[in-house]
Amino acid sequence: MSCMGHMLPERGRRLLFVQRGVIAHWQTMAVGISPRTVENLVRSGRWQRVHRGVYAAFTGQPSREALLWAAVLRTGPQAILSHETAAELDGLADKPSEPIHITVPVDQHWRPFPGMAVHRSALIGHIRHPGLLPPRTMIEETVLDLTQAAATFDAAFAWAARACQRGLTTPTLLRMRMDLRKKLRWRGELSQALPDVHAGVHSALEYRYLRHVERAHALPTADRQVRAVGARGARGIAAGLGTSRGATIYRDLLYRRYRVAVELDGHAAHPADARWRDIHRDNSAAADGIITLRYGWTDVAEHPCGVAAQVAAVLRRRGWSAAPRRCGPSCLVGQGQTVVTGR
């Protein structure tokens, strides 16, 4: 990759540095770079055209961040990265987005072009992060955009929970931004769920377990995401800790008083390495006198009463003296049926 032209004005060099070597035609005159200079640099091969009116001041393959700069500059001075692309930059999404998502003012009309998805907003000045570069939506707005694009409430909830559990925002800040939107799908459901996110619910599957298994059947409230480190014996059990080899693990749910753990697995496939981690975690719990029950998405989503009946039966054998509550006429709780069917 060749050097950005050292003969450029200082303002131009600074801008190229900030924008990862990318500049738009509409920016060049403001930093003292004439159209003729741009033309000569491109013709000589020192610069390359990334999009129409957008240039990279280097040769070779642009980096991912340079491509993001090029995309947002291609759509004008007020454009910002949004949706999955903003989530990628902020650490909310775990892989690069395809296509690159851009939001522009509502009165701008751009024809779709390959590799980009263009959204429009009448409030672009209010949703733009005031300081982060490349320009993007604030994390709360990113989360809400993703919830609105989600196909199901479970998927929408997962975005909100992930953002909070990764420390990118808080339920309070999300609720504040929700209140500023006139239209919002799942407003009631998200408002109801955010306090549980604040209490430590990490995933849509955990939320379903909390609502449809625990609360619906009046089971005790488990502690969530309990950290377990190398203490052993009675002391470790009382604290909800303990591993046989000293490694740090997290139990999804732990009924501390009754020494019962519940592990939830929302993945349809279970890779071999993850399976062995689960086995080691279960073995570690057993060594500390903790019974582990393990359920998948189908168990909790389609058979919550069966799960509740089974958990209640184990809790009662471990000393729970209360009785579970039936959630409806066909509920399995109290009918002596504790079998949970397939995953």
Domain limits, the chain: 10-62, 75-198, 204-317
Residue pair 189/155 in contact (Cβ under 8 Å)? The answer is no
Tens of pLDDT, residue by residue over 259-292, are: 999 999 876 544 555 555 666 666 666 667 899 9
What integer pLDDT is reported at residue 228 of this predicted model?
A: 79
The Cα 178–Cα 267 span in angstroms is 30
* CATH architecture observed for domain 204-317: 3-Layer(aba) Sandwich (3.40)
Helix (H), strand (E) counts: the chain: 15, 10
Tens-of-pLDDT digits for all 343 residues of the chain?
344 445 799 999 999 999 999 999 999 999 999 999 999 999 999 999 999 999 999 999 999 999 999 999 999 999 999 999 999 999 999 999 999 999 999 998 877 778 999 999 999 999 999 999 999 999 999 999 999 999 999 999 999 999 999 999 999 999 999 999 999 999 999 999 999 999 989 999 999 999 999 999 999 999 998 887 644 433 444 444 444 455 678 889 999 999 999 999 876 544 555 555 666 666 666 667 899 999 999 999 999 999 999 999 999 999 999 999 999 999 989 765 444 444 4
Residue pair 250/277 in contact (Cβ under 8 Å)? The answer is no
What integer pLDDT is reported at residue 234 of this predicted model?
A: 38
Give me the residues paired with residue 110 across strands.
none
What integer pLDDT is reported at residue 248 of this predicted model?
A: 76
Residue pair 290/183 in contact (Cβ under 8 Å)? The answer is no
CA distances, 100 to each of 77, 103, 146 (Å)? 17, 10, 14
pTM, full prediction:
0.83
